[in-house]
Chain A
Amino acid sequence: MSDLFQHVRSSQGIEEYQLKSNDLKVLMLQNSSSPVATFMVTYHVGSRNEAIGYTGSTHLLEHLMFKGSRNYNKEKGTAIWDELQSIGAQINATTWNDRTNYFEVVPKEHLEKAISIEADRMRFSFIKDEDRQPEMTVVRNEYERGENSPFDVLDKNVWATAYQAHPYHHSTIGWRSDIENVSTERLKEFYDVYYWPNNATATVIGDFDKDETLALIAKHFGVHKRSEHTIPKVYTEEPIQEGPRRVVVRRSGQTGIVAVAHKTPEGLNSDTHALHILGRILCDGKSSRLHRKIVDQGLASSLFMYDFPFKDNGLFITYAFLTPNTDHQKVEDIILNEYTSIKTEGVEQKELDRAIAQTKATVAFSRDGSYAVASALNEAIAIGDWQFYTTYLDKIKSVTVKDIKKVAKKYLHDDASTTGWFVPKQ
């Protein structure tokens, strides 16, 4: 191994290194099942780092990061999309609450190109006003497409109602007027605050030579210094919720939606795994409790729940997509009654066993392909510890029926709830 790197730790075959010159973290997992490698850079900046007036900036900046950098730009005939798509790479970037990630899935012989491009745009992106103008309308159309969906609109409203002070109040795409009016200077400032090697993790998964790849990372990312400033921390905390909240969205549409949400702790909290199992028992698979009581009865065409672990608090949300003429209140009551039942009577061991088996299979499939591994690691990096991914299954296996009853009582209480209805207007 190159002496330019310090080996930090290993877990389940994944090794963490740090580039000594600038503190860039590097995660590596070799797998030569196919001649492909995924390279991903995760920055610790997301919509959580925004405030009123520049919501959506992290995402808009992510778009501008494809517009050109010192060595990869249209003028030189080396535009990022052209360079990567011409070799058949899968390429994209995504922004979410706690992170922004850029990735390339490439035939293994092209790994250096991906590393070189990501290193170049880490500090040498142009971020020009002449690029922001047309890209703003692109992003606005992305926002408009989301607004077409009753589910997306309801989901935004539920979060905005549940979170009042914390920036999880607004969605990653931001508010329309902020998308339209944020200045290029503000975006550039955002870039200069957060896009540094010491605020990023590079992940390499797949078929590659470890020493050669570390050398390539040092060659391309080693040109950057660590930031001279401390990366700012988000200090806003959501005040304790002291009563149930409701939100209703009325809009032209055909069928209703019910959402029942409750606040959850930060992703690295020890209760997270029991909450995940609780979610599976309620909604995952056709044998889950709410599927049998709602979908099997023809009250909803489908339902699902999510409780993504975030860096700060989250939401445990169940969504039901109603069949025509089904009463919203009826479905809401069924969901809440099931929560009450678990809080008072708990769950059966066989339900827990089934949920653990489902998780075991999900985790196994999360290692199917280099991108799947990088993507799962990316979310763990975002909440503050990549080993959340490697230790996840062991922690899930240690959850007991007692834990599930405990977290249900602790988090699924009325005063921490936000209920949302989408009511179609004919």
Chain B
Amino acid sequence: MSFSEKVLVFENLDGLSTYIAPTQVDGVVTLSGSLKGGEFHAKKSNSKIASLSGSMLDKGTVKKSKHDISEALDSIGADINFIVSNHHINFTAHCLSNDLEKVILLLSEMLQEPRYDSDELTILKKRIIANLERSKEDTRKQANINFVSQLYPIAHPNARYNIDDTISMVDNISVEQLKDYHQKAYGLGTINIAAVGDVDPDSLNQLIINGFSPMAKQSISNEYNFPAPNKRVHKFIECIIKDKTSCDLFVGQSIDINDNHKDYHSLMMGIYILGGNFSARLMQTVRDEQGLTYGIGSGMAGCSYGISGHWYTWGTFSPDILDKGCDATVEQINSWFETGITEEELQAKKTTFKGAFQVSLDTTSGFVDKILTNAEKGRSIEYLDKYNERIDALDKQSINKAIHQYIDPKSLTTSVAGSLK
């Protein structure tokens, strides 16, 4: 059975698509959904408005206090969570199949009628700021923020604010700003909902229609006007954090490509061969042969929704051998760039991708993620049927050409954080 044959697609409301896949799992359902309205959409005023508009959804509705909501969920062992990413407001729910109606009704109420109480906002800000303060001692986060900050101007959707600026942004948000953002962003228009598990598709679809039909249309702009990434330069950034026994390293650069581009899959496969899993080059050499790190890998980020992103290599090293680790990493990047990938590597990774896709569907959450990510990118469910074909179509020449076209080892940005020697 093809992927699309397992999934029923409903388009009963204007601006809300529902994807439901009944499976043989016993008695549970995973539901995940999203709508456009992430931090980038609020960036002109304060991107954290979008983030807090989502974090406040479980702090009470017009009809229910936060304790009513938590009691309702905890009493049936269900959970509803909201996370606001760069582009989307995301929601997830896990529950027993018998409790689906209660959960959908509560979810739709939380999305449509938040209380946005000022006392609750004060407490939430305090908790968020505590987490942000804590992240100042997180070597990985600090190395990544400094790395990304070099790649993009602050108005770019992939840019990251430093921790102090983020704290200031959180601290300055008012209830009025949240209400205003909610009115614009939380509506029909770009909602996708995926549900997988022990579920009757028609009943669930009807529940979603009932719950979401009162929603008005969202009125945020889908226009993306932003500056280009910063010019690539060879740069080394250090961040000293006291009393850390392991340093984090990010090295990479911006790349002028997004996931709709014809070369995207070639470049993605090339980077995967460099550092996508344990049997990729970086782990085989820097970890397995040289013993310099517990973990090192490579990937792409920020390349969706028509936006060009970046590629990176990340690894951890003891402060005593950080220089050696950086050199070994760059040596592998240079070797990969100069000699390219081999046919043997490509064939092995093709079967890796196809097998991993099959394995990822073994859980309801893995299945849901595949459906929702595809829908968020505006692709039909049939796009997933051709996953193996797209992988099989990749060839060595195109991959090596893409590596040379989009990667420039002479202008890598390197960021390290930790108790540097």
- Chain A interface residues toward B at CB < 8 A: 31-36, 79, 81-82, 85-91, 105-107, 110, 133-145, 147-148, 150, 206, 251-255, 284-288, 291-292, 295-298, 300-302, 321-324, 353-354, 357-362, 364-365, 367-372, 425
Contacts of B241 in A (CB 8 A): 252
**Bound Cα distance from A364 to B99, whole angstroms:** 13
The reply on B161 being an interface residue by CB < 8 A is no
Contact (Cβ within 8 A) A89 B243:
no
A–B complex contacts, Cβ < 8 Å, 24 sampled: A34-B362, A86-B355, A90-B356, A90-B359, A106-B355, A137-B292, A138-B287, A138-B291, A138-B293, A140-B318, A141-B293, A148-B244, A148-B418, A150-B137, A254-B133, A286-B58, A287-B73, A287-B74, A298-B126, A298-B127, A323-B127, A324-B130, A324-B133, A364-B27
Contacts of A36 in B (CB 8 A): 358-359, 361-362
Contact (Cβ within 8 A) B359 A135:
no
Contact (Cβ within 8 A) A296 B123:
yes
**Bound Cα distance from A205 to B352, whole angstroms:** 21
**Bound Cα distance from A338 to B293, whole angstroms:** 44
Query: Looking at chain A's contact residues, is the secondary structure mostly helix, strand, loop, or mixed?
Result: mixed
Contact (Cβ within 8 A) A254 B136:
yes
Interface centre among A135, A150, A368, A369 (most CB of B within 10 A): A368
Distance from A75 Cβ to chain B, minimum over Cβ atoms (Å)? 14
Contact (Cβ within 8 A) A134 B291:
yes
Tell me the nearest residue of chain A to B97, going by C-beta: A364
Chain B 84-110 per-residue mask, 1 if CB under 8 angstroms from chain A, else 0 = 000000000011100000000000000
Q: How many residue pairs at the A-B interface have CB separations less than 8 Å?
A: 208
Contact (Cβ within 8 A) A86 B318:
no
- The 3 tightest CB contacts between A and B, nearest first, are A88-B355, A361-B77, A134-B291
Residue of B73, B95, B278, B362 touching A369 (CB-CB under 8 A): B362
Task: Give the B interface residue count (CB, 8 A).
Answer: 75
Tell me the nearest residue of chain A to B293, going by C-beta: A141
Contacts of A324 in B (CB 8 A): 129-130, 133
Q: A143-B245, A288-B74 are in contact. List 18 more A-B contacts (CB 8 A).
A: A32-B24, A36-B362, A87-B355, A89-B359, A136-B291, A141-B292, A145-B316, A254-B133, A254-B134, A286-B69, A300-B130, A353-B75, A358-B77, A361-B77, A361-B78, A364-B26, A365-B28, A369-B362
- Chain B interface residues toward A at CB < 8 A: 23-28, 30, 58, 66-67, 69-71, 73-78, 94-96, 122-123, 126-131, 133-134, 136-137, 139, 197, 241-246, 277-279, 287-294, 316-318, 321, 348-349, 351-359, 361-366, 418
Residue of A85, A141, A362 touching B246 (CB-CB under 8 A): A141
Distance from A94 Cβ to chain B, minimum over Cβ atoms (Å)? 14
Interface centre among A36, A89, A139, A322 (most CB of B within 10 A): A36
Contact (Cβ within 8 A) A107 B317:
no
**Bound Cα distance from A126 to B365, whole angstroms:** 38
Contact (Cβ within 8 A) B127 A301:
yes
Q: Contacts A144-B318, A365-B94 given; indicate if A295 touches B77 (C-beta within 8 A).
A: no
**Bound Cα distance from A36 to B358, whole angstroms:** 7
Contacts of B197 in A (CB 8 A): 368
Contact (Cβ within 8 A) A105 B291:
no
Contacts of B357 in A (CB 8 A): 88
**Bound Cα distance from A297 to B69, whole angstroms:** 17
Tell me the nearest residue of chain B to A295, going by C-beta: B127
Q: Contacts A85-B277, A255-B134 given; indicate if A286 touches B66 (C-beta within 8 A).
A: yes
Contact (Cβ within 8 A) B134 A321:
yes
**Bound Cα distance from A81 to B245, whole angstroms:** 28
Q: Contacts A81-B279, A139-B294, A252-B137 given; indicate if A364 touches B362 (C-beta within 8 A).
A: no
Contacts of B28 in A (CB 8 A): 361, 364-365, 367-368
**Bound Cα distance from A91 to B78, whole angstroms:** 30
Contact (Cβ within 8 A) B294 A138:
yes
Q: Contacts A36-B358, A107-B358 given; indicate if A354 touches B74 (C-beta within 8 A).
A: yes
Distance from B220 Cβ to chain A, minimum over Cβ atoms (Å)? 29
Contacts of B246 in A (CB 8 A): 141, 144-145, 147-148
Tell me the nearest residue of chain A to B75, going by C-beta: A354
Contact (Cβ within 8 A) B279 A321:
no
Tell me the nearest residue of chain B to A132, going by C-beta: B291
Q: Contacts A138-B287, A255-B130 given; indicate if A34 touches B23 (C-beta within 8 A).
A: yes
**Bound Cα distance from A79 to B130, whole angstroms:** 45
**Bound Cα distance from A287 to B71, whole angstroms:** 6
Residue of B67, B78, B139, B365 touching A148 (CB-CB under 8 A): B139
Contacts of B94 in A (CB 8 A): 361, 365
Contacts of B358 in A (CB 8 A): 34-36, 88, 107
Contacts of A148 in B (CB 8 A): 139, 244-246, 418
Distance from A139 Cβ to chain B, minimum over Cβ atoms (Å)? 7
**Bound Cα distance from A315 to B377, whole angstroms:** 46
Interface centre among A143, A251, A254, A371 (most CB of B within 10 A): A254
Contacts of A206 in B (CB 8 A): 362
Contact (Cβ within 8 A) B24 A33:
yes
Contacts of A360 in B (CB 8 A): 77, 96
Contact (Cβ within 8 A) A141 B24:
no
Residue of A105, A106, A362 touching B77 (CB-CB under 8 A): A362
Contacts of A105 in B (CB 8 A): 359, 362
Contact (Cβ within 8 A) A286 B245:
no
Interface centre among A82, A357, A365 (most CB of B within 10 A): A365
**Bound Cα distance from A131 to B283, whole angstroms:** 15
Contact (Cβ within 8 A) A372 B355:
no
